[in-house]
């Protein structure tokens, strides 16, 4: 199962008011584990950077001047994401900007159902507790010491660790999904996988005295007892 952990940086809060994406960072996961493959792109927004936004991510006009416009990288971004799930913290914000940029240049928009919102997961799992990325890093002991300013790729890498903790740790399925995938020829095989019986049954640890005591106990329960029916 492939997933894309994604983050963006922007010039502000509303694309309909002229704000634009200036950075996209994404990390590829396979069966919930990082593959080492990433997507990272700085983008020239075609407008000046507001001071408030610059203080958040540190991306200024001089740095972004020679970077490509979104129309030059939009298709490559879609090709990287594909139809796989995107893991995003506060997905409504990033999806709003991504789909505005995509629609502006005539490319297909991303279905909102393709996004997994870690902010919503965190609020549901820890109601009433802070659910920012920094707060979740503190909760799970994820190192975010390099996060002096927001950066899309760094934040995606951090979010990937947080996401794995939110869904149950680094091995939420104990590796069974990857084992099945290696030994199966199709997705149907994986869905139908069942553990096989042991070739040699484990030896009983029940002593003769314990077995006799159990038999006496079951006899006292009467013929209608569940234990009697299972014998």
Strand 85-88 with 2-10, pairing: parallel
Who's near 183: CB < 8 A, 6+ residues apart? none
**DSSP structure class, residue 40:** E
150 catalytically annotated: yes
Question: Looking at 32, 57, 150, 214, which residue is catalytic?
Answer: 150
Q: How far is CA 152 from the centre of its chain?
A: 15
CA distance 219 to 231: 12
Report CA-CA distances (Å) from 154 to 23, 33, 35: 11, 16, 15
Question: Considering only CA atoms, which of 181, 178, 143, 176 is closest in space to residue 162?
Answer: 143
- List the catalytic residues: 150
């Amino acid at each position: 199962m492939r997933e894309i952990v994604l983050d963006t940086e922007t010039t502000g809060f509303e694309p309909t008011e002229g704000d634009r994406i200036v950075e996209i960072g994404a990390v590829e996961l396979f069966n919930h584990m990082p593959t080492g493959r990433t997507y990272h792109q700085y983008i020239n927004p075609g407008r000046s950077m507001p001071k408030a936004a610059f203080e958040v991510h540190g991306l200024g006009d001089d740095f972004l001047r020679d970077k490509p416009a979104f129309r030059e990288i939009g298709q490559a971004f879609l090709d990287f994401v594909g139809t796989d799930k995107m893991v995003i913290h506060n997905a409504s914000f990033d999806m709003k900007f991504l789909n505005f940029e995509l629609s502006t240049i005539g490319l297909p928009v991303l279905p909102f159902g393709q996004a997994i919102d870690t902010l919503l997961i965190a609020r549901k799992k820890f109601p009433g507790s802070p659910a920012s990325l920094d707060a979740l890093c503190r909760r799970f002991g994820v190192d975010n010491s390099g996060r002096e300013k927001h950066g899309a790729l760094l934040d995606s890498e951090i979010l990937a660790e947080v996401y794995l903790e939110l869904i149950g740790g680094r091995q939420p399925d104990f590796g069974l999904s990857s084992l099945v995938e290696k030994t199966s020829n199709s997705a149907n095989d994986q869905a139908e996988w069942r553990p096989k019986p042991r070739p040699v049954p484990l030896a009983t640890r029940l002593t003769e005295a314990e077995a006799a005591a159990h038999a006496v106990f079951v006899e006292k329960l009467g013929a209608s007892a569940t234990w009697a029916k299972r014998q």
